[in-house]
Amino acid sequence: MSNFDYDLFVIGAGSGGVRASRMAAGLGARVAVCEDRYMGGTCVNVGCVPKKLYSYAAHFSHDFEDAAGFGWQVAEPHFHWPTLRDNKKKEISRLNGIYRKMLGNAGVELIDGRGQVTGPNSVEVNGQSYTAERILIATGGWPFVPDVPGKELALTSNEIFDIESFPSRIVIVGGGYIAVEFASIFAGLGAETHLLYRGDLFLRGFDQEIREYLATEMKKKGVQIHFNTDVEALSGSPGKITLSLDNGQEMSASHVLYATGRVPNTAKLGLESAGVELDDKGAIKINDCFQTNVPSIYALGDVVDRIQLTPVALAEGTFLAHHLYGEGRPVPDYTNVASAVFSHPNIGTVGLTEEQAREKYADISVFVSEFKPMKHTLSGSDERCLMKLIVDKATDKVVGAHMIGADAGELIQGIAIALKAGATKAVFDSTIGIHPTSAEEFVTMRTATR
């Protein structure tokens, strides 16, 4: 029997921490988890789950408009923010309970409070010291707000879901997927919505054609986009905020949301005193088996800043539990990790962008299909859809697939399996499509666009 209180002590009950602890306990380890804020982590509480629920809500405004072309006569719809907000709270509370129950059923001890590493094999929570053979840091990420005067007037994704009053005019600052998603949400719910980004075009790192196409589609849906624009200062008071811009102009807003990225949540964990090495962004340095330079301390998920996606943290947690307490698993494969942006319309993407493919391969073919979806031939909506395949000519393998359109995230998941399996363009071409769907375009693009 070990001389430690636990075999594994996990700091952080988010997606990765919960998965690793449950799996490790199931493999016979004595496990404890501490959490001081959210059961289920960012995704369940202030990320993926509430964001998707709010995105569903925002789509209804378009659905009411589309229905008229199909013969439905709908009275003037009215949106009630407190209903959405409070129903969301109930659902998150239900999920929090499920996470607690899952840990309990797995035999994991849950300790409420903030954990701090006090040594290679010790953690302190609420003044109580615990020892463990191994410690896992799974504390995720935290919203980053640049140090501009008046930053205390801004909201982040931690607070925006639960604001008391619905924004009459909201300004969203940022150019990543969180900024783009919230711009679509609030515009869809009826707020006057402005998106400010200091660069030429948002969603840096995504396929250029997809980025440009989304900007056009979002403008159609009422999002007022201001590229090459940054904020120098915020002033005023909550509900009446003035933004001083770098072009000399001013903008007013009832609410300002900063969605300017997330940083690893490593502050005040005692990692430096324990000798754990961090990189210049504050992310924990690890080897391929998620072990830090301190052999007894491990880390995974957003806190190591590899790919900030919930399913990636889950895969890492599964691997680590089996690596430490089971018969082992292959290390996670980070190639062809699919992702979605729940903008309006959605983005679904997997594999290389066209720009990345041109750098990697000597010769590629690009297949693009751009069209009005069948639904909108009657709805009257001017929303359009774009699908794109990128092929390495030498092997005929499809190395990238991208889409903008309704339910793109749902659709791209199946395409991701094909890319993971190494499907060639010939395999796509030989696959019989489902008609009439937008999805069939992925197997009917025969002529290269370029």
Same-domain status, 11 and 116: yes
Q: Are residues 62 and 100 in the same domain?
A: yes
pLDDT-derived band at 270, boundaries 50, 70, 90 = very high
Mean pLDDT of 129-140: 98
187 and 302 housed in the same domain: no
In a domain, 70, yes or no: yes
Please state, in angstroms and rounded to a whole number, the distance separating the CA atoms of residues 297 and 292. Answer: 6
Last residue of a domain, one of 204, 228, 260: 260
- Asked whether residue 83 is domain-assigned, the answer is yes
pLDDT at 30 over 60: yes
Residue 23 lies in a domain: yes
Note whether 120 and 268 are same-domain residues: yes
CA-CA distance, 116 to 132, in Å (whole number)? 13
Q: What is the pLDDT of residue 284?
A: 98
Alpha-carbon gap, residue 287 to 225, rounded angstroms: 41
Which domain-ending residue is among 240, 260, 280? 260
Round to whole Å and give the CA distance between 202 and 172. 12
pLDDT tens, 314-333?
999 999 999 999 999 999 99
Share of the chain above pLDDT 90, in %: 98
Q: How many domains does the chain have?
A: 3
pLDDT class of 1 with cuts at 50, 70, 90: low
- Average the pLDDT over each of 72-76, 87-91, 208-212, 431-435 and give the range with the smallest value: 72-76
Residue 448 domain flag: no
At residue 405 the predicted structure's pLDDT band, cuts being 50, 70 and 90, is very high
Looking at residues 188-197, what average pLDDT do you find? 98
Q: What is the pLDDT of residues 202-212, one digit of tens each?
A: 999 999 999 99
Active site residues: 435
Mark whether 236 and 275 lie in a shared domain: no
Based on the domain organization, do 249 and 279 belong to the same domain?
A: no
Q: Indicate the pLDDT class of residue 312, thresholds 50, 70 and 90.
A: very high
Q: What is the CATH number of the domain that holds 370?
A: 3.30.390.30
Within-domain flag for 200: yes
**What are the b/e assignments for 340-361, b being 16+ CB within 10 Å?**
bbbbbbbbbbbbbbbeebeeeb
Based on the fold, state whether residues 175 and 291 are members of the same structural domain.
no
Average pLDDT across the chain, whole number: 97
Q: Is residue 450 one of the residues assigned to a domain?
A: no
**Domain co-membership, 300 together with 406:** no
Shared domain check, 193 and 103 = no
Q: Is 449 contained in some domain?
A: no
pLDDT above 80: residue 2 = no
Structural domain ending residue among the three candidates 325, 348, 368? 325
Is 80 exceeded by the pLDDT of residue 404? Answer: yes
Q: Domain holding 159: CATH number?
A: 3.50.50.60
Residue 188 structural domain: 151-260
Does some domain include residue 232?
yes
Q: Are residues 11 and 137 in the same domain?
A: yes
pLDDT band at 261 (very low <50, low <70, confident <90, very high): very high
Same-domain pairing of 98 and 155: no
The answer to whether residues 229 and 248 belong to one domain is yes
